Chain A
Amino acid sequence: MSSDAIALGSNGQEPSYLDYKGKHSGLLGWILSTDHKRIGILYLCALTVFLLVGVSFGFLMRLELISPGKTIMDAQTYNSIFTLHGVIMIFLFVIPGIPAVFGNFVLPILIGAKDVAFPRINLLSWYLYMIGGLLAVISILLPGGPADTGWTFYIPYSVRTGTNVMLALFAAFTLGFSSILTGLNFVTTVHRLRAPGMTWFRMPLSVWSLYATAWIQVLATPIIGITLLMVVVERWLGVGIFDPALGGDPVLFQHLFWIYSHPAVYIMIVPAMGVVSEIIPVFAHRTIFGYKFIAFSSIAIALFGSLVWAHHMFTVGMSDTGQFIFSLLTMVVAIPSAIKVFNWIATLYKGSIDLAAPMLYVLAFIFLFSIGGLTGVMQGVLSVDIQVHDTSFIVAHFHYVMFGGTGFGFFAAMHYWFPKMFGRMYNPRVAKIAFWFLFIGFNILYFPMFIMGWLGMPRRYYDYLPEFQSYHLISTIGSWITVLGILLMFYNLIRSLKSGQIIKEKNIWGGETLEWQIDTPPIHENFYEIPVITSRPYQYKDNEEVITHKEHK
């Protein structure tokens, strides 16, 4: 979009947010900072650590499954490892993920604001996140052993097991609270802090995504909050609520659990879709196709996503009527997602495609998310789900959408905004090599799971029949290639923080959103002067301020 001719700032007049000296200096200046950019970086550091921990657990699981029977751990350990793999990946990486890191860093800038609506609550969100993470880690280390219920904490086992379920539940509760506060902050920010002239339909699409996500965070998260709290109370005080021995209904627990956890998957994917909508126009050198459709589809996904939760429960004894209704609604929720995919592809058409690292991740996203999404629709068909529920087909499906979707979206965002955030450039060749390891490894890791799941391999099983071994072997080898890719990717990025090429230009990619019109890295208050927005977003045209370096691609 074009903005006032008044310069939004020239380089070097003020220190960047990295060098800014506020009330506190050094480490305190970071962990007491209410600057949304610093908070985004704090989240990035923490999330990276938890991602690597979660990946290690996954790696260990795959090692165990390389052959039937015991390989490197006993069954109890395996149960705990898949539980913590899920809890850490879901609550500490994928759900906070893009909103906490990139939403925090970029959202205020995208709408022309100096910060979010409630900067101190933003910092509190991070503290709650860290406390939740700490509780999860402690639950692994304390006697009693880490929880072994699966991340879904189903009744009655979650009330019976002697492992550290309480700590895990408190961790999830605290993390939920962190998520709620972020959502509350973002909704208010988008309503109240848009720059003059930025109407709703002049907002970038990633803002629409973050806004829709924020609503789900606010409305859906408390349900799991209270549900987990009730399990805590049931375990601790023996209050009869879900326990069937006391007349409770375990299926009701599942309903309440999924009333949050299904919308939660939209908290996971919608921001990633927002990232895709940002990156594609830049690297295809074309205006996004169907802006309003994409904007409204974000809202539609949030809306319809709240109506389908029981498709996780088709086999537990629901009424036929219930099953039919939820299956039908599941078909409907796929539509807005498909609309996005069509619009992205239409944007690529006749574009001048630049296969820089961010673009590679985004293209991979479209491919992997489509597979994941379509298999989701397959699972929404009742007769199919009876066959594949609780098999590794489901595991493959959700890894395609959560990892191939959100994960790759997160990595795309990292490679896209890294230069702006740190004023450094990573090695583009290494980035691409890491990408290919990751992409190829990913498919070798997860595609066999579709096949063996279809053939009957159950999920969360420590042991299995010999007929599945070759699939498991291939999958485990895939996990090694994937992990190599992840490690190479992070090595490249982390190394570049210190020794990457220094970037001072405002707009190395040729983007049309506001973050590419300000200093690299941004100054403390983002803008020297709040811009006035006078035209619609993403008018892709030659822009004098754009300096595109071929060597960055």
Chain B
Amino acid sequence: MEKHEHTSEHSHGYSIYILVWLALLSLTAITVAVAGIDIGRFTVATALLIASLKTFLVLNIFMHLKSESKTFRVFVGVAIFFLAISFILLFADYSFQ
């Protein structure tokens, strides 16, 4: 029954959330630190990579995407795909102007 789906899933307690929170804070610190280093072309990519990692944690653990049915993960994939393809095709124009 749907109503009881969650209770059994999350009996592993509060600790996972605290851990993820600490990871998120650490990643934020890393992002700030890395920004101080000059890595030229890779600056944006690194910042985005770390941001994506943080997002992955928030999505899967805080937003419980990991414990939802596969449909939800496909949904998220579709949405991200739409955004990504818009960026990519847009730059297909702008990077060659």
Q: Are A320 and B90 in contact (CB under 8 A)?
A: no
Q: Are A306 and B85 in contact (CB under 8 A)?
A: yes
A255 to B97, CA, bound (A): 14
Q: Are A306 and B92 in contact (CB under 8 A)?
A: no
Say yes or no for B52: interface residue by CB 8 A criterion. Answer: no
Size of the chain A interface, CB-CB below 8 angstroms: 19
Q: Are A322 and B71 in contact (CB under 8 A)?
A: no
- Residue among B71, B79, B86 with the most chain A CB within 10 A? B86
Q: Are A320 and B96 in contact (CB under 8 A)?
A: yes
Tell me if A's interface is mostly helix, strand, loop or mixed. Answer: helix
Chain A neighbourhood of B85, CB < 8 A: 306-307
Q: Are A326 and B97 in contact (CB under 8 A)?
A: no
Question: What's the nearest-Cβ distance from chain B to residue A451, in Å?
Answer: 32
Q: Are A319 and B94 in contact (CB under 8 A)?
A: yes
Chain B 43-84 interface 0/1 with A at a Cβ cutoff of 8 Å (1 = within) = 000000000000000000000000000010000001100100
Q: Are A191 and B96 in contact (CB under 8 A)?
A: no
Say yes or no for B89: interface residue by CB 8 A criterion. Answer: yes
Say yes or no for A259: interface residue by CB 8 A criterion. Answer: yes
Q: Are A325 and B92 in contact (CB under 8 A)?
A: yes
Q: Are B71 and A319 in contact (CB under 8 A)?
A: no
Tell me if B's interface is mostly helix, strand, loop or mixed. Answer: helix
Q: Are B82 and A321 in contact (CB under 8 A)?
A: no
A259 to B85, CA, bound (A): 11
Given known contacts A191-B71, A219-B78, A219-B79, is B92 in contact with A322 (CB within 8 Å)?
Answer: yes
A259 to B86, CA, bound (A): 7
Chain A neighbourhood of B38, CB < 8 A: none
Q: Are A307 and B89 in contact (CB under 8 A)?
A: yes
Q: Quick one: which of A219, A306, A307, A319 contacts B93, CB cutoff 8 A?
A: A319
Chain A: residues with CB nearer than 8 A to chain B?
191, 215, 219-220, 223, 255, 259, 306-307, 309-310, 317-322, 325-326
- For the A-B complex with A306-B82, A319-B95 known, give 11 more contacts whose Cβ atoms are closer than 8 Å: A215-B78, A219-B78, A219-B82, A223-B86, A307-B85, A319-B93, A321-B92, A322-B93, A322-B96, A325-B89, A326-B89
What are some 10 contacts across the A-B interface (CB < 8 A)? A215-B78, A223-B86, A307-B89, A319-B95, A319-B96, A321-B92, A322-B94, A322-B97, A325-B89, A326-B93
